[in-house]
Amino acid sequence: MDPFSQSHQEAIELFQRHFNLARSRSDLEDLRLLLRHYSKIPYENISKIIKVASHEELEGKFRLPLEVMQDHMEHRLGGTCFSLTYFLEEILRSWEYSCHKAMAHMSAGENIHCVIVADLAGNRYLVDPGYLLWQPLLLSSERPQTFFTPQGGVEVRYDPAAGEFHLFTFNARGRKWRYRFADRSVSEIDFRQHWIASFSKPTLHNILLNQLTEKGLLYVRGNHLRLTSFEEERKANIRQEYHRQIQDLFGIKPQWVEEALSILRRQRQEWQHQKPKGQDLG
């Protein structure tokens, strides 16, 4: 059975009840409120590492809206950009927003990130749950648009030569390019193919977590923690008491962390046995 053929209404209703949300009459204000709550669902790949390793059949590897919402409510889990974007688009459509998914390109590769473009009263807005943007960002081909978030500033700039938008983040220490995308709808078939490709991407070689807080953006990659705000960037190595640190920071219990770490250790051991002689582990 095609896992995408099922209705996601139960997940949408769970989301609305959990965050006490209901549609009103202001499209833009409703969207802002929805995104502010949706950004509380963290970006994390712990659940994806476990799900992909636990299922041989392709259909079982996808984390669809009901699983994402139930896991968040019960275990404080979230998802990666594909599952978060897919779920959010389902919510937006149920709230009668005109929107579509688009693929984005980062320094690590093409089509490895995805976003939503929403059309409100003739204006296009970037919606990016995978990057935990808590408000819609106006897309303008005429002038750069700048916004401020708890982790710093965001700039969206149009490149007319390529017909693409570029997203940058900035704070007191400088400005960084993050990704580029064209305001072009990706077909459901192509979106699923890119999602399938993500099951073997480098993002599953280490634990990654992002959570937006009032103090800024919490980011964990492997043993390294970073808290980013506009004024400062604080870093720490959390290798000691790693499981407790993840639970304290993100609310994710140690058994989830350990299961993901065990899978990663096993995969590294298998890779070491399979790699050509003299090749180092990346």
Task: Say if 159 falls within a structural domain.
Answer: yes
Task: Say if 277 falls within a structural domain.
Answer: no
What is the pLDDT averaged over residues 244-259? 96
- Asked if the model's pLDDT at residue 57 lies above 60, the reply is yes
Task: Say if 141 falls within a structural domain.
Answer: yes
| Lowest model confidence (mean pLDDT) among 104-108, 136-140, 209-213 | 209-213
The per-residue pLDDT for 201 is 66
The per-residue pLDDT for 277 is 53
DSSP letter string, 227-242: EE-SS-EEEEE--TTH
Bridge partners, 138 (sequence order):
125
CATH of the domain at 34: 3.30.2140.20
Q: What's the structural domain count of the chain?
A: 1
Parent domain of 193: 3-267
What is the pLDDT averaged over residues 218-247? 92
Task: Say if 274 falls within a structural domain.
Answer: no
Task: Say if 279 falls within a structural domain.
Answer: no
Task: Say if 282 falls within a structural domain.
Answer: no
Alpha helices in 39-152 (DSSP H): 46-54, 65-75, 81-94
- Asked if the model's pLDDT at residue 6 lies above 80, the reply is yes
Task: Say if 129 falls within a structural domain.
Answer: yes
In the chain, the percentage of residues whose pLDDT exceeds 90 is 75
What is the pLDDT averaged over residues 121-139? 91
* pLDDT band (50, 70, 90) for residue 280: very low
Residue-wise pLDDT for 172-217, tens only, equals 788 899 999 999 999 999 999 999 999 986 667 899 999 888 788 8
The per-residue pLDDT for 94 is 96
Kindly give, in sequence order, each residue whose CB lies less than 8 Å from that of residue 46, ignoring residues fewer than 6 positions away: 77, 207, 209, 252, 256, 257, 260
The per-residue pLDDT for 279 is 46
- Asked if the model's pLDDT at residue 99 lies above 70, the reply is yes
Task: Say if 275 falls within a structural domain.
Answer: no
Cβ-based neighbour number of residue 156 at 10 Å: 19
Computed over its alpha carbons, how large is the radius of gyration of the chain?
19
Give the DSSP letter of residue 201: S
Closest C-alpha among 197, 203, 160 to residue 182: 160
